[in-house]
Structure 1
Amino acid sequence: MIKLTMEKLKIQLDQIFSPFLNPPASEEEIQRVENEMAIKFPDDVRELYLIHNGEREDGPGLFFGLPFLPLNDVLQEWHVWKQLEDEFAMEGSSYSVPTGYIKERYINRFWIPISKDFGGNNIGIDVDPDHQGRIGQVINFGRDEEVKYVIATQLSDFLEFIAETIFQGNYQIEQEEDYLYWNYKNSTHFLDALKSLELPVLHPESQNFKEETAKWMQDLDSGWKEIIQEEYSNPENFIKRKQLYLIGKKLTHIKPLQFCTEVKELILTSNELTDITPLKNMLSLKKLYLVKNPLSDLTPLQNLEHLQELNINDTQVFDITPLVSISQLKNLKMDQTDVKDFSILQQCQALESLSISIVNKEQLRQITQISTLKQLDIHQLKNIEEVDLLQLGHLENLQVITFENCYLKNLDCLSSSRQLREIILKNTILEDGTAIGALKNLKCLKLDGTTIENLKVIAKSSSLQIFTGSFEQFNYLKDLFHQAIDFSTIVGGMTAEEQKVWHQYLNTHKV
């Protein structure tokens, strides 16, 4: 299949460019690269390299201006990603389109980079697809490629698409001095064109929008019709969006969202929702904000297997049991809810960040049993004594803690927190800050509307690197530390004279 496609494609390419494809690779060369990568090339990839080992350095870029990489360059590019994988594999947000086809990672050593854009981005062959994907599918990935598309279900389809594009004349030739290259249609970068292409090429997963949307558009109330027409122009654009921000729209229902199956990020803050049943169809969701809605039932969320961040602040939710089945839930905000029992959160095995209000000792005890927590934001403490807070020492993986609107005698409860890197105190009174100065690994302290009665003890910290506070706090501490401190952020206003003092300090104490 690849051989026939390439024969046709080369005839078309020869009408545009001088020959630029390299001679074949040998079986031994392919085997060497496979062994080093510990990857078996799909048959069509192997067949392509047995016909041409990439293209010359001065070639126009077989893949619409992006070069077809020789095997040595494939291996070099792959090594760059492999070295970064252990630390950054899950960095940032990664979305698969369609959902469930590409593993939602930033880096995967089982993506074979057959092309690059010289800016840290690649076209690759995926030999480790997600549960609905196919080994050998052609994808995009890289530094700027948060959304990863299945460009083609197999390499032969991609090459056939290139041939069809030339036949139809859907390309443009570019000339820069002696360098000749080409682009797809009117795009300046093929990876940017993916957003508007019907994918996968030749076999698009397109929906029949006109039929499916016409009926529900007719049935919608005027409020929803106005939102869709004014903000998204038409139902097709609305359904295809990956992010929807519907804040303060006075929504009483979200029926149209049942069709938005590719949405990754949905913000529904400050509406009038009591029923979120349509969300059960939004299986692609990774981030969901339901803040300030009078809803109570989270059951529709229990099958959202990709959901990582959920905010239910200021709702009437009282039962968080449905959250247990959300296997990837990492970040949960649930201040000002009707939830009384937090013990269920111990079963959320991926939970790393929690924002909460604590109103009794039992709730505090339950929170300190969540061994996976790395970040804890406490926005209210009621009916808690100093000795009760010592239970926070059980959170062995805790790296960041916030206290807001609290009165604290001391922070001795953090003395055994070996992983703690950052403390944030907002609108809080702390009588004794001695424990802060004694923490061995603390890097950052932020005081926002907060007072520490013996502030001087903070300067005893030998590990602190960044301090954020008011001008008065900065001015008091600036000459007390033995190490250089980053004071580059001030909370609150400053007079002209205070700004002068601060700027002079920053100019003479560059960190």
Structure 2
Amino acid sequence: MQAIELFEDYVSWLRVNVPRAYENLAPPADRDDIDRLECVLGQRLPDDVKAVLMRHNGQRLTDTATHDEDGAVPCIPTLSFLSTGLIEECWSEWVDLREMDDIEDLQDDCEAMSGAEGRVRPLYTSPGWIPLWSDPARSDYIGLDFDPDSDGIRGQIINFGRNEDRHFVCADNFTELLQILLDEVRSGQWPASTLVFDEEKGREIAVFGNVEDGVGHPFFGDIDEHFFNALCSRAMARSGIDLSDWENS
């Protein structure tokens, strides 16, 4: 299937199963939005990425590590779907970091996970890494890799960010990522939820089902079951690697 067909199927699933996320999808990006982003990045975006952004340009309300909006509901399970403007903003935040005196120490302290060696460069940051989906609270992303290692594919989808110093390949391209997304939500593992503060645990937890009006705020999935982990598990399975063995190594 083409990317836009997969995305339309995903949007249809959202409308029925996570209506608050569906309602938070933004209007389409226009050609000027795409052209501006490509100019800033110095990269031409893949056609499948542009097709999706020109259907829904991220979210109406979006949370990222440096950008908070009250009432933002993730439009990807546990993750924010970035608009062209927020892709530019998140990417630009790393420009100054790459010019820091100690950046080489950070670059040298990263690795490609099993199955991704030779495909993802073992770096902390690269200007060729373009965020598409973001953790709502941390500078961690799923996005395009335009700077692959020798055996990688330009435009492959990887994890990267402040806390993502072990990299894996989520998918060979964005269309494949959309198929994974659709398969994941259809599995029933990522229902609509509400985040409420748990006094005993001293933090927010996800509650499924009905809650009292005015209690908590809408969410998508379980805050303790990050979508990064689902993508990592799938990447390890494709490589024939037992994730538990890797985590204990």
TM-score (normalizing by structure 1): 0.39
- Say if 2:103 is the partner of 1:102: no
Give SS of 1:100's match: coil
Please show how residues 168-317 of structure 1 align to structure 2 within 5 Å: 168-176=187-195, 177-183=215-221, 187-195=224-232, 197-199=233-235, 204-206=238-240, 240-241=245-246, 244=249
Post-superposition offset of 1:11: 1.1
Residue 103 of structure 1 aligns with an amino acid whose one-letter code is R
What does 1:88-99 align with in structure 2 at a 5 Å threshold?
88=103, 91=106, 92-97=108-113, 98-99=116-117
In the alignment, which residue of structure 2 is the partner of 1:21? 25
In structure 1, give the amino acid aligned to 2:234.
E
Counterpart CA distance in 2 for 1:115 and 1:83 is 21
AA in 1 matched with 2:5: L
Whichever residue aligns with residue 191 of structure 1, its letter is F
Between the aligned residues of both structures, percent identity stands at 25
- Structure 1, unaligned runs of 5 or more: 208-235, 245-511
Look up the match of 1:351.
Answer: none
Matched, 1:5 2:42: no
Partner of 1:458: none
Q: Does 1:156 align with 2:156?
A: no
Partner of 2:154, secondary structure, is: coil
Report the secondary structure of 1:129's partner residue. Answer: coil
Match of 2:81 among 68, 73, 76: 68
Structure 1 position 84 matched with structure 2 position 93: no
- Map 1:106-125 → 2, pairs under 5 A: 106-117=124-135, 118-125=137-144
Consecutive unaligned residues of structure 2, counting only runs of 5 or more, are 62-70, 196-214
Offset, 1:194: 4.5
Give the deviation of 1:171 after TM superposition.
Answer: 2.0
**Contact kept? 2:140, 2:161, Cα under 8 Å:** yes
Counterpart of 1:48 in structure 2 is 52
1:37 shift after superposition: 1.6
| Residue aligned with 1:51, SS | coil
Q: Per-residue CA shift, 1:454-475, capped at 9, x if unaligned?
A: xxxxxxxxxxxxxxxxxxxxxx
User: 4+ residue stretches of structure 1 with deviation over 6 A?
Assistant: none
Task: Find the counterpart in structure 1 of residue 65 from structure 2.
Answer: none
Partner of 1:165: 184
Following the alignment from structure 1 to structure 2, what is the Cα–Cα distance between the partners of residues 112 and 237? Answer: 26
- For normalisation by structure 2, the TM-score amounts to 0.76
Alignment CA distance shift 1:93-1:183 (3 Å): farther
Could you tell me how far apart the structure 1 residues matched to 2:109 and 2:154 are? 23
Quickly say closer, same or farther: Cα 1:127–1:90, change in 2 above 3 A: farther
User: 1:350-365 maps to which residues of 2 (within 5 A)?
Assistant: none
Q: Report SS of the residue matched to 2:177.
A: helix
Q: Contact (CA 8 Å) 2:17, 2:191: kept in 1 or not? A: no
Deviation of 1:61 (Å): 1.8
SS in 1 for 2:54: helix
The Cα of 1:104 is off from its aligned counterpart by 0.9
User: Residues 115 and 90 of structure 1: is their aligned pair in 2 closer, same or farther, counting only changes over 3 Å?
Assistant: farther
Q: Quote the RMSD (CA, aligned, Å).
A: 2.4
Indicate if the aligned counterparts of 1:5 and 1:159 stay in contact, CA closer than 8 A.
yes
CA distance in 1, matches of 2:139, 2:243: 29
**1:89–1:108 contact (8 Å) kept in structure 2:** no
Task: Give secondary structure in 2 for the equivalent of 1:174.
Answer: strand
Deviation (angstroms), 1:8: 0.9
Counterpart CA distance in 1 for 2:53 and 2:104 is 28
Inter-partner Cα distance in structure 1 for 2:168 and 2:76: 15
| Offset, 1:180 | 1.5
